[in-house]
Amino acid sequence: MKLIIIGGGFGGLRLARKLSNKPGFEITLIDRFNYHQFQPLFYQVATAGLDASNISFPLRKVFHASKNVRFRMAAVQKLLTAERKVVTDIGDFDYDVLVIATGADTNFFGNQQLMDNAFPMKSTVEALQLRHRLLHNFEDALNVQSELELQRLMNIVIVGAGPTGVELSGAIADMKRFVLPKDYPELDFTKMKIYLLEGTGKTLAAMSEKSSIQSQQYLEKLGVTVLTNALLKNYDGKTVELQNGDRIESAMVMWAAGIKGNVPEGISADLIARGNRIKINRHCQVNGFENIFAIGDVAFMEEPAWPNGHPQVAPVAMQMADMIANNLRRLEMKSGVMHWSEFVYNDKGSMATVGRHLAVVDMPKPKLHFGGLLAWMIWMGLHLMLILGVKNRFFVFSNWLYNYFTYDQNLRLIFKEFYREQKK
């Protein structure tokens, strides 16, 4: 069976590893990057807590011992479903079975000004760009004469109070407390304002009421100004304009308010659901196709417990990959094809960290909630286990220990050539 997997994220990588060295499969994994990115820790790269290499793992290295998995670094340009072909910038690939695991990208909801001026964080490169801009703003603040321009450079606005926005806000608040005043003693950091804007009525809306309330309390304790029911209307690079007419002067807006599926060209428009996600059945097959599957953030499945689709989180992608691996093995062995298992998401809980000793954890079965230090330790332990590679785990743990005991992030580096290139 010629199997092509598009995307080396949590779902695509899990599927390739599950079928690695299994007889009957010839697998090609395609991704535009040659490394797996551990997205839950992007915010720590952006705030100088971790190096980008600590949360990235070479995809080729994963399959050193594999006899049937081959990796190709390529950008997918189009799917020719009738011809069973994937068109990429390095050539065409034929398949018997195709799995689309392309994940999601930032959704600016069509606002061109936001696309031009706000900073997303959906890749390692974007996290580095954000870090460089964040640090460079403080360098620039040392040299400005205008009070208005100084305020713009020191104000930071994060849009979207989901886990990413909450974690970013808390990490920057910790930088303001422990690091930045020592790095820039000439600046008055009592004037620095961190705003977290949320369009709904609460932070961490997808989590429990306790977590929402607790996370907002933690953020406010850290000095973050949380504005709920605050919809951003426009941002020109200098001034944030809200729907209610309020304005915030800021040269730094971080966008964490929405994502949309990365749907390859060649998928019919009538197969696209809300959020730019591909409609799939309970076997993860794209509607109307027996040999094309979609998993993870790019997939939309109506399950009785999740009538509006599953949350776009890593456990969904990995559990879908596990089910497809089992079903494809049955298909390859030509046994029990009509009895493929249907996908049922096992929600093991959700969590978010806010700052030093501060986090929230929700568990559905049994229904439990943790907050504070215990939740923070649970969050760290789980994320450490999920990172690929012993070396990466060692370096992440070492960095966390260093940061914990020194109250310092040691990666506040501005690479001038990289920064100039990104500004062009």
Position 66 in a domain: no
What is the band of 291 on the pLDDT scale with cuts at 50, 70, 90? Answer: very high
| The last residue of a domain, from among 312, 339, 366 | 339
Is the model's pLDDT at 423 over the cut of 60? no
Residues 391 and 408 in one domain: yes
Same domain, 140 and 211: yes
Give the per-residue SS3 of the chain: CEEEEECCCHHHHHHHHHHCCCCCCEEEEEECCCEEECHHHHHHHHCCCCCHHHHEEEHHHHCCCCCCEEEEECCEEEEECCCCEEEECCEEEECCEEEECCCEEECCCCCHHHHHHCECCCCHHHHHHHHHHHHHHHHHHCCCCCHHHHHHHHCEEEECCCHHHHHHHHHHHHHHHHCHHHHCCCCCCCCCCEEEEECCCCCCCCCCHHHHHHHHHHHHHCCEEEEECCCEEEECCCEEEECCCCEEECCCEEECCCEEECCCCCCCHHHEECCCEEEECCCCEECCCCCEEECHHHEEECECCECCCCCCCHHHHHHHHHHHHHHHHHHHCCCCHHHCCCCCCCCCCEEEEEECCEEEEEECCCCEEEECHHHHHHHHHHHHHHCCCHHHHHHHHHHHHHHHHHCCCCCCCCCHHHHHHHHC
Q: What is the pLDDT of residues 252-290, one digit of tens each?
A: 999 999 899 999 999 999 999 999 999 999 999 999 999
Do 134 and 224 reside in the same domain of the chain?
yes
CATH of the domain at 230: 3.50.50.100
355-384 mean pLDDT: 91
Of the chain, the percentage scoring pLDDT greater than 70 comes to 97
Q: Is residue 364 located within the same domain as residue 392?
A: yes
Residue range 291-297: mean pLDDT, rounded: 95
Residues 294, 334: one domain? yes
- The predicted model gives 174-185 an average pLDDT of 93
* Range of the structural domain that residue 89 is part of: 2-32+74-106+259-339
Edge-to-edge strand list for the sheet holding 239-242: 232-235, 239-242, 247-249
Query: Which tens digits make up the pLDDT trace of 188-239?
Result: 999 999 999 999 999 999 899 999 999 999 999 999 999 999 999 999 999 9
Q: Is there a domain that residue 305 lies in?
A: yes
Please say whether the beta carbons of 170 and 218 come within 8 A.
yes
- With a CB cutoff of 8 Å and minimum separation 6, the contacts of 124 are 33, 35, 37, 42, 45, 52, 55, 56
Prior bond of 366 cis (ω within 30°): yes
50 inside domain: no
Q: Would you tell me how many other CB atoms lie within 10 Å of the CB of residue 415?
A: 12
| Residue 98, φ and ψ in degrees, nearest 5 | -120, 135
User: What's the confidence (pLDDT) of residue 284?
Assistant: 94
Q: Are residues 237 and 284 both part of a single domain?
A: no
88-92, 97-101, 362-366: least confidently modelled range: 362-366
Q: What is the mean pLDDT of residues 323-334?
A: 86
What confidence category does residue 150 fall into, taking pLDDT thresholds of 50, 70 and 90? Answer: very high
Residue 337 confidence class, pLDDT cut points 50, 70, 90: very low
Q: Are residues 267 and 248 in the same domain?
A: no
Is pLDDT of 384 > 80? yes
Mark whether 217 and 283 lie in a shared domain.
no
The confidence score (pLDDT) of residue 365 equals: 83
Question: Once rounded to an integer, what is the mean pLDDT over residues 46-71?
Answer: 93
Please check whether residue 43 lies inside any domain of the structure.
no
Residue 292 lies in a domain: yes
My answer on whether 251 and 121 are in the same domain is yes
Instruction: Find the CATH number of the domain harbouring 16.
Output: 3.50.50.60
- Domains identified in the chain, total number: 2
The closest alpha carbon to 218, from 355, 331, 319, belongs to 355
- Same domain, yes or no, for 95 and 146? no
Bridge-based pairing of strands 277-280 and 272-273 is antiparallel
The answer to whether 51 and 45 are in contact (CB under 8 A) is: yes
- Quick one: pLDDT band at residue 335, thresholds 50, 70, 90? low
pLDDT for the residue numbered 399: 87
Domain membership flag for residue 284:
yes
Is 149 a domain residue?
yes
What percent of the chain stands above pLDDT 90?
77
Mean pLDDT of 321-333: 89
The pLDDT value recorded for residue 74 is 96
Can you say how many angstroms the Cα of residue 372 is from the centroid of all Cα atoms in its chain? 23
Residues 251 and 265 in one domain: no
Average pLDDT, the chain: 91
CA distance 297 to 293: 13
Statement to judge: residues 224 and 364 lie in one domain: yes
Question: Does residue 282 lie within any of the structural domains?
Answer: yes
Decide if 101 contacts 7 (C-beta within 8 A). yes
> Does residue 410 surpass a pLDDT of 80?
no
Per-residue pLDDT for 338 more than 80? Answer: no
Q: Can you tell me the mean pLDDT for 64-80?
A: 95
Least confident of 77-86, 255-264, 409-418: 409-418
Single residue among 286, 309, 339 that ends a domain in this structure: 339
pLDDT the model gives residue 422: 52
pLDDT of 336? 46
